[in-house]
């Protein structure tokens, strides 16, 4: 797997650039359910473990 790392990295980079273009064009939106400070990382992890979140949980650094 590691020998293919540059190829996979380039594929992921291309995908991220495409997603960024869609976001900039308003064609893709991300639902954020909660924004928490990094100090509450355990709370964020617990929320995700319950499986009841709708959207992303964001940690602010």
For 4-47, the pLDDT digits (tens) are 888 899 999 999 999 999 999 999 999 999 999 999 999 999 99
31: number of CA atoms within 13 Å, CB side?
A: 4
| pLDDT recorded at residue 19 | 96
Distance CA 58, CA 40 (A): 10
pLDDT score, position 1 = 55
Model pLDDT, residue 17: 97
Please determine, for residue 56, whether its predicted confidence score (pLDDT) is greater than 80: yes
* Core vs surface per residue 40-49: b (16+ CB within 10 A) or e: beeebeebee
Burial of 51 (0-12, 13-18, 19+ CB in 10 A): exposed
The reported pLDDT for the residue numbered 3 is: 77
């Amino acid at each position: 797997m590691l020998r293919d790392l540059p190829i996979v990295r380039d594929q992921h980079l291309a995908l991220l650039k495409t997603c960024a273009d869609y976001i900039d064009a308003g064609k893709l939106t991300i639902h954020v359910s909660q924004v928490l400070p990094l100090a509450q990382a355990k709370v964020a992890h617990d929320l995700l473990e319950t499986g009841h979140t709708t959207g992303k949980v964001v940690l602010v650094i």
